[in-house]
Amino acid sequence: MAEEKELNQALPEEDSDIEARHEKRMEEMSTLLSQRRMKALQTLLEEQDEYDVAEFLSELPEQQMAMVFRLLSKEQAAEVFAELDSDQQEYIINTVTDTELGGILDELYLDDTVDMMEELPANVVKRVMRIATPETRALINQYLKFPENSAGSIMTAEYIDLKKYMSVREAFARIRRVGADRETIYTCFVTSRDRKLEGIVTVRDMIMADEDAEISSIMDENVIYCTTTDDQEDVSGLFSDYDLLAVPVVDKEHRLVGIVTVDDVMDVMEQEATEDISIMGGVTPSDRPYMRTGVFEIWKNRIPWLLLLMVSATFTGIILSSFEDALAVQVALTIFIPMLMDTGGNSGSQASVTVIRSLSLGDIEFGDLFSVIWKEIRVAVLCGCTLAAAGFVKILLVDRLLMGNESVTIPVAAVVCITLALTVLCAKVVGCTLPMLADKLHLDPAVMASPFITTIVDAISLLIYFGIAKTLLKI
């Protein structure tokens, strides 16, 4: 203990930022481990938050990880275990004895157990199921049946249920008795004899109320709840809209079957944002962190999109080849194709990104389609005119005068700039319409982000370009 204190004092009390303080804690643990001072390490680990311990473990080689894991107390071991990646969980399960594994399973919250079971290979699942108590086994089986990303799949069964007729004193006695292994005690759920949800009462209300008050007199009957099949994204919306710490999950008969807590919802928010961002970038979302994803898996997540988009680009090729003669006469037109396509693509993705995010935040819905289109048209006119004016000046100054390209005439510049304005208009309309249509068709609007919009807008911009060129330049 003395040497440990010394170590703590050697480090400055105040650090520059959150990251630095985290690094410092990691280093302390590494130092003790490398010096093989296992007793001191054990004491230090006990004081750490389970997240930091899990972080520390996950940077160790597997054998060493399993060894350090065994230094943890039974309770902390379960908490740390829940924070580990599925690979590491699997390794630990394979190295501990049945008794040790039983201990971990006892302490794990049900939602963490279910998360783990979904990732483990079949033979490991079998062993876990054999060791779990029959009660836990039945619950796991029930939970595994809920559809992925539903409220049922993220809920936990460890909540506090109270009865209407209890007094606040009795309620506190119950919390003290069963609270230790409940995921949250701050929101308690009042249920009838047939397990129907009748109301919620917070510990805050109970502390503020008289000890003799009846729960029925202080509970809130206007409960914000969700059902087992509700989408987890909608559930997380409830938390941020209503500032909740826990939401009850009911089945079709309005019976309370579980709760979702705010910490699970924060993970959902992170995961949903990652998914949206991945899909918008044309990548199939992956559950695993980038550094732990294999090259082959990354390839599998990316190649279908690239192939699909490459094949769709055939249309631009077809359009270009049908205007091959026009291009042969006016090679100057070719110079501006990339600029027109890029600007169109960028204008379109601006609109689509804004609309996709607004849809997922619930700011707009399909009913707003026409007001969104009307707004985008006005924005497009402003953007299109600005770009056309700037483009005209740039083309004549840079491409004609500075670069001395004689074939870039004023009519060519005019064709380019008119195309620019019209392309921006089409791009913005396509960019805002497609995500909303996708949403209406119950597809993920994020699919309609820049890669697809770009491909579509490319074709449109080329058609406009050659249409106008043919008319104005008489080719």
Binders in 402-431 for a second copy, by CB under 8 A: 403, 405, 407, 424
- Token pair in block for residue 27: 């280093």
Distance between the two ends of the chain, CA-based, in angstroms? 89
Half-sphere exposure for 432 (CA within 13 Å, toward CB): 25
For residue 384, the one-letter residue type is G
Query: Is the sign of the CA dihedral 430, 433, 437, 439 positive or negative?
Result: positive
Interface segment toward a second copy; rule CB under 8 A; list 128-136, 138-146, 347-355, 463-471: 347-355
In the chain, DSSP finds a helix count (H) and a strand count (E) of: 25, 6
Closer residue to a second copy, CB minimum distance, 3 or 47: 47
* Cα 290 to Cα 298: distance, rounded to the nearest angstrom: 9
Per CB under 8 A, 58 contacts a second copy: no
Per CB under 8 A, 387 contacts a second copy: yes
Distances (CA, A) of 272 to 149, 260, 420, 422, 437: 10, 16, 35, 35, 20
* Cα 424 to Cα 461: distance, rounded to the nearest angstrom: 9
Closer residue to a second copy, CB minimum distance, 132 or 258: 258
Q: Which of residues 150-179 bind a second copy (CB under 8 A)?
A: 172, 175-176, 179
Number of residues this chain uses to bind a second copy (CB under 8 A) = 130
Smallest Cα–Cα separation from 92: which of 124, 122, 129, 56?
Answer: 124
Closer residue to a second copy, CB minimum distance, 257 or 356: 356
Per CB under 8 A, 204 contacts a second copy: yes
Interface segment toward a second copy; rule CB under 8 A; list 34-42, 70-78, 89-97, 359-367: 359-367
Q: Least distance in Å: CB of 93 to a second copy?
A: 23
Q: Least distance in Å: CB of 239 to a second copy?
A: 6
Per CB under 8 A, 248 contacts a second copy: no
Q: Least distance in Å: CB of 340 to a second copy?
A: 9
Q: Phi/psi at 200 (nearest 5 deg)?
A: -125, 155
Smallest Cα–Cα separation from 109: which of 159, 147, 68, 57?
Answer: 159
Per CB under 8 A, 303 contacts a second copy: yes
Per CB under 8 A, 358 contacts a second copy: yes
CB distance 74 to 103 below 8 Å: yes
CB distance 456 to 347 below 8 Å: no
> Exactly one of 238, 259, 430, 464 binds a second copy (CB under 8 A); which one?
238
Per CB under 8 A, 181 contacts a second copy: no
Q: Least distance in Å: CB of 190 to a second copy?
A: 16
Closer residue to a second copy, CB minimum distance, 132 or 347: 347
Per CB under 8 A, 392 contacts a second copy: no
In what helix (H) or strand (E) does residue 96 lie, and over which residues does it extend? none
Torsion of CA 109, 110, 116, 122, to 10 degrees: 140
Per CB under 8 A, 48 contacts a second copy: yes
> Exactly one of 138, 144, 207, 410 binds a second copy (CB under 8 A); which one?
207
Closer residue to a second copy, CB minimum distance, 134 or 242: 242
